[in-house]
Amino acid sequence: MSAANGAAVRAMFDNAKQSPFRTCQWPFGDPQNEEEFHYCGAPTLAPHSYCARHVEMAYRDPDEEREAAREAERAAA
Ligand SMILES: [Zn+2]
């Protein structure tokens, strides 16, 4: 095995430990509507399948989310 192959195998192994996705799998639009539906596509934040922004959204406490929405409303008023 050449050194180049070794590096490729090592890269594959490193990737296998992370998310199988290289781009954010956060869905946008209606999955029934192929024209409208798409994934975020931003680079993922390992080991998640989402980008930094969507990891934050995916793992955020629902109560916290409600509070943040309320605060945003207050700030807008
Ligand atoms: Zn994303």
The residues spanned by each domain of the chain are 3-76
**Tens digit of each residue's pLDDT (9 = 90 or more) over 6-20:** 777 666 555 555 567
Tell me, what's the pLDDT at 11? 64
Mean pLDDT of the region 26-53: 93
Alpha helices in the chain (DSSP H): 3-17, 52-58, 62-76
Please tell me the distance from the alpha carbon of residue 21 to that of residue 1, in angstroms, as a whole number: 28
Distance 41 CA to ligand 1 centre (A): 6
DSSP secondary structure code for residue 18 in this structure: S
Q: Give pLDDT, residue 67.
A: 83
CA of 54 to the centre of ligand 1 (A): 5
Neighbours of ion ligand 1 (CB under 5 A): 24, 26, 40, 42, 51, 54
20 alpha carbon to ligand 1 midpoint, in Å? 15
Query: Taking Cα atoms as reference points, which of 27, 33, 17, 23 lies closest to residue 58?
Result: 27
Mean pLDDT taken over the chain: 82
For 50-70, what is the mean pLDDT?
A: 86
Could you tell me the pTM of the whole model?
0.54
Q: How many residues does the chain have?
A: 77
